[in-house]
Amino acid sequence: MAFDIDLIQKVYAELPGKVAAARKALGRPLTLTEKILYTHLHPENPLQEYQRGGDYVFFQPDRVAMQDATAQMALLQFMMCGREKVAVPSTVHCDHLILAKDGADQDLAVANAENKEVYDFLSTISDKYNIGFWKPGAGIIHQIVLENYAFPGGMMIGTDSHTPNAGGLGMVAIGVGGADAVDVMAGMPWELKQPKVIGVKLTGKLSGWTTPKDVILKVAGILTVKGGTGAIVEYFGEGARSMSCTGKGTICNMGAEIGATTSTFGYDESMSRYLKATDRADVAALADQVAEHLTGDPEVYANPEQYFDRVIEIDLNTLEPHINGPYTPDRAFPISEFAAAVEEFGFPPVLEVGLIGSCTNSSYEDLDRAANIAKDAAAKGLRAKSEFTITPGSEQIRFTVERDGILQAFEDIGGVVLANACGPCIGQWARHTDDPNRANSIITSFNRNFAKRNDGNPQTRGFVASPELVTAMAISGSMKFNPLTDTLVNDKGEEVKLAPPQGYELPPNGFAVEDAGYQAPAEDGSSVVVAVDPASDRLQLLEPFQPIRNEQLQNMRILIKAKGKCTTDHISMAGPWLTYRGHLENISQNCLIGAVNAYNDKTNTVINHLTGEYHPVPESALAYRDNGVGQIVVGEENYGEGSSREHAAMEPRFLGVHAVLVKSFARIHETNLKKQGMLALTFAEPADYDLFRQDDTVSIVDFTSFAPGKQLTIELGHADGTKDTVKVNHTYNAAQIDWVRAGSALNKIREEVVG
């Protein structure tokens, strides 16, 4: 579907030379991860060894993918940079906004009506800027990327945390925020801390009830939800080669659950088979020619301890099926120990719902193997005792498995097929229950199982397992069922045992689809008008931010002096505010409402010096802005930690905050503030935080000589007539100071593009 063969040809043509140069520069054999990273270095970085876990490096990814919730602000921003089209191949996927309620067709119709303005916007802006658009119902971003765009040795970013799914096809694919997508689409270098590399050696071969999902459930148990932070996980060994490409995708997908930057596998026969089955025999042929560069060097895999930061070994011959949860994906139980755990920890013993599919587990292999369990059950006089749902990952998968009788097999035991979308995985699930507050158990083949994620009920214990195990458990209706050892009683009162699952890796009759749901962009998008209703409360075109002027930095007021932890959630809350992600003015009503005011220990209650009264933060900010009063935000350590969401920088900027002065920044937020043309400053002496009084005026007295490596000076005018002078640091380089002078990084690009 319009994948870019020219791009892949170019990447592969340059690959041998680039890998050889990187090997020479580092003076040692390379992991696959390093091959991909060093062959995607941005020219701004010299070719030299970068310290893993230390150096920040600029890269040039090959592609960008965006889902509908995050694409809105990313594309609204992209519009500002003045480019006629995106700098790298990019796609938008409408998958997150469809509520699962009554089944695929009905739910899709409702979503199309309710989200029409968002879909129209995404469709027209994609058309205009040469972006591939996947309509609602086409499927889930990561499944579609795997089926159409991922290629071995490539590097991509995606505005969704499970973008690493494309590692199943040998990519380094990293989940990012919208601001990063804007950088890459606008042709700017993209920055990442050079990751560490964790090696996972897989020996043996999967069999019986054990699946690729159990590999990552086991790894999650070993590494925990934080164990992969700042690292790329590279799988290798005979066990890796024996697994299907889509199974590898499942493992990489759930690498997000251990905090990994991404996960990947070396190119092998399974990837070649998958590429050919998904109509990309030409990519497979090209990859075959450079295969040695699409996997780690043999010396690395022979002596992994020498080249990886950490090595884990898993024997697939002895690996048991796992069930992980509740509430956290790293609480791992082998199936043989799970029934006892249900007793010991008091998990509700009735399995109320089993849910299979999602971006994590909806390959042909997953669904065929699960369907064979369903067929075996039906033949033995069983039906699903639990509610049972199936979410296909794409229309191509759905159409193919329907043709092959797989969906029918699920329906025959009581399964309900939902739309090709995220649905229950992201809480878009109108669950049928007589008591939405009851403590209960569900098992999914999805990836995340945090409290409230699926149905909003904190009493729901969500567990994750393979689709095969979920299907078997749903048939039993019991959390204590172990299909490897236990029998079930059928409609005739006989004891029967489910056979271990079997299935095809790829459809024997090939994939098929009538309408994949893809909309190619216009050949010439210059005349396309981007559809945004001026009356919309969900979408709003952006206005370029005006550069900060020196006089605005004199006699500023402190909007809030935040006390303690102030994450991006405190600055721009999620939850119901997600609706307004595409409307800067409306979402700015949540600006800093979660931050604690150091002057009164309250949230969302700050003094407004224009009235002398206390108001919500956004209200005071607006009053200052509209009366020409400059504003500064003061904070403590690691200010802006959490997500990379650019709204946390755009909202204060929109509300007239010019500077943020803290003890230290979370790096991504600091960069986001810089990109929006604001001043991100840190105390030279952290104790000076205490000098800032509620009724001070704050002036940056030497902004006109703002320069790289040079401190700025702040003068505090206290109400009693006294003054304090405070030195502050910054990390702006010359290019970033140009962003401030232009009003924002995008304004600067526009100046360069449009002149």
The residue among 22 and 367 lying less far from ligand F3S, judged by its C-beta, is 367
* 447 is a contact residue toward ligand F3S (CB under 6 A): yes
Question: CB 448 → ligand F3S: shortest distance, Å?
Answer: 6
R_g of the chain, CA atoms, integer Å = 27
Binding region for ligand F3S (CB under 6 A) out of 140-148, 206-214, 543-551, 578-586: 140-148
CA distance 186 to 452: 37
Following DSSP, what letter does each residue of 286-345 receive, concatenated? HHHHTGGGGS--HHHHHSHHHHSSEEEEEETTTPPPEEE-SSSTT-EEEHHHHHHHHHHH
Binding region for ligand F3S (CB under 6 A) out of 332-340, 422-430, 592-600, 741-749: 422-430
DSSP conformational letter for 700: E
- C-alpha distances in Å from residue 648, one per residue of 14, 385, 599: 39, 46, 22
* 445 is a contact residue toward ligand F3S (CB under 6 A): no
The residue among 77 and 447 lying less far from ligand F3S, judged by its C-beta, is 447
Binding region for ligand F3S (CB under 6 A) out of 124-132, 134-142, 548-556, 609-617: 134-142
DSSP conformational letter for 545: P
Q: Which of 384, 397, 425, 679 binds ligand F3S (CB under 6 A)?
A: 425
On whether the CB atoms of residues 152 and 267 are closer than 8 A, the answer is yes
To 5 degrees, how large is the angle CA 558–CA 564–CA 566? 75
CA distance 19 to 288: 16
The residue among 145 and 621 lying less far from ligand F3S, judged by its C-beta, is 145
Helix axes 141-148 and 395-403, enclosed angle (nearest 10): 80
* Interface positions, 321-360, toward ligand F3S (CB under 6 A): 358-359
On whether the CB atoms of residues 170 and 153 are closer than 8 A, the answer is yes
Question: CB 743 → ligand F3S: shortest distance, Å?
Answer: 34
The residue among 98 and 240 lying less far from ligand F3S, judged by its C-beta, is 98
Binding region for ligand F3S (CB under 6 A) out of 40-48, 79-87, 138-146, 263-271: 138-146
CA distance 459 to 478: 18
The residue among 160 and 505 lying less far from ligand F3S, judged by its C-beta, is 160
CA distance 464 to 443: 6
On whether the CB atoms of residues 670 and 179 are closer than 8 A, the answer is no
The residue among 145 and 479 lying less far from ligand F3S, judged by its C-beta, is 145
Question: CB 426 → ligand F3S: shortest distance, Å?
Answer: 4
The residue among 264 and 447 lying less far from ligand F3S, judged by its C-beta, is 447
The residue among 577 and 614 lying less far from ligand F3S, judged by its C-beta, is 577
Q: What 3-state DSSP class applies to 733? A: coil
Question: CB 260 → ligand F3S: shortest distance, Å?
Answer: 15
The residue among 147 and 376 lying less far from ligand F3S, judged by its C-beta, is 147
CA distance 121 to 83: 18
To 5 degrees, how large is the angle CA 453–CA 458–CA 464? 50
* Binding-site string for ligand F3S from residue 357 to residue 396, where x marks contact by CB under 6 A and - marks none: -xx-------------------------------------
Question: CB 362 → ligand F3S: shortest distance, Å?
Answer: 9
Q: What is the length of the chain?
A: 755
Question: CB 140 → ligand F3S: shortest distance, Å?
Answer: 5
Question: CB 94 → ligand F3S: shortest distance, Å?
Answer: 11
CA distance 625 to 621: 6
CA distance 230 to 248: 21
CA distance 617 to 590: 8
The residue among 211 and 449 lying less far from ligand F3S, judged by its C-beta, is 449
Beta strands in 520-570 (DSSP E): 557-561
Q: Which residue has the tokens 């009581």?
A: 414
Cβ contacts of 91 within 8 Å, gap of 6 or more: 63, 64, 65, 66, 131, 132, 133, 134, 144, 145, 149
* 422 is a contact residue toward ligand F3S (CB under 6 A): yes
* 144 is a contact residue toward ligand F3S (CB under 6 A): no
Question: CB 183 → ligand F3S: shortest distance, Å?
Answer: 22
On whether the CB atoms of residues 53 and 230 are closer than 8 A, the answer is yes
Catalytic residues: 95-96, 160, 448, 643, 645
Name the token pair of 388: 């049972």
Question: CB 141 → ligand F3S: shortest distance, Å?
Answer: 6
* Interface positions, 29-58, toward ligand F3S (CB under 6 A): none
Binding region for ligand F3S (CB under 6 A) out of 114-122, 139-147, 339-347, 488-496: 139-147
Question: CB 572 → ligand F3S: shortest distance, Å?
Answer: 20
Name the token pair of 645: 């969401």
* 182 is a contact residue toward ligand F3S (CB under 6 A): no
DSSP conformational letter for 413: T
Binding region for ligand F3S (CB under 6 A) out of 265-273, 292-300, 421-429, 642-650: 421-429
Binding region for ligand F3S (CB under 6 A) out of 15-23, 135-143, 567-575, 593-601: 135-143
* 141 is a contact residue toward ligand F3S (CB under 6 A): yes
Question: CB 256 → ligand F3S: shortest distance, Å?
Answer: 8
Name the token pair of 697: 């005026």
* 160 is a contact residue toward ligand F3S (CB under 6 A): yes
Q: How many residues bind ligand F3S (CB under 6 A)?
A: 13
The residue among 115 and 478 lying less far from ligand F3S, judged by its C-beta, is 115
The residue among 33 and 360 lying less far from ligand F3S, judged by its C-beta, is 360
* 97 is a contact residue toward ligand F3S (CB under 6 A): no
Nearest to 359 by CA among 258, 442, 246: 246
* 140 is a contact residue toward ligand F3S (CB under 6 A): yes
Name the token pair of 260: 């990994």
Backbone angles phi, psi at 613, to 5 degrees: -115, 165
Helix axes 467-476 and 364-379, enclosed angle (nearest 10): 20
Question: CB 113 → ligand F3S: shortest distance, Å?
Answer: 21
On whether the CB atoms of residues 748 and 687 are closer than 8 A, the answer is no
Q: Which residues are 723's β-sheet partners?
A: 717
Binding region for ligand F3S (CB under 6 A) out of 213-221, 223-231, 346-354, 420-428: 420-428
To 5 degrees, how large is the angle CA 362–CA 161–CA 666? 170
* 696 is a contact residue toward ligand F3S (CB under 6 A): no
Q: Which of 416, 426, 442, 661 binds ligand F3S (CB under 6 A)?
A: 426
Residues that bind ligand F3S (CB under 6 A): 95, 140-142, 160, 162, 358-359, 422, 425-426, 446-447
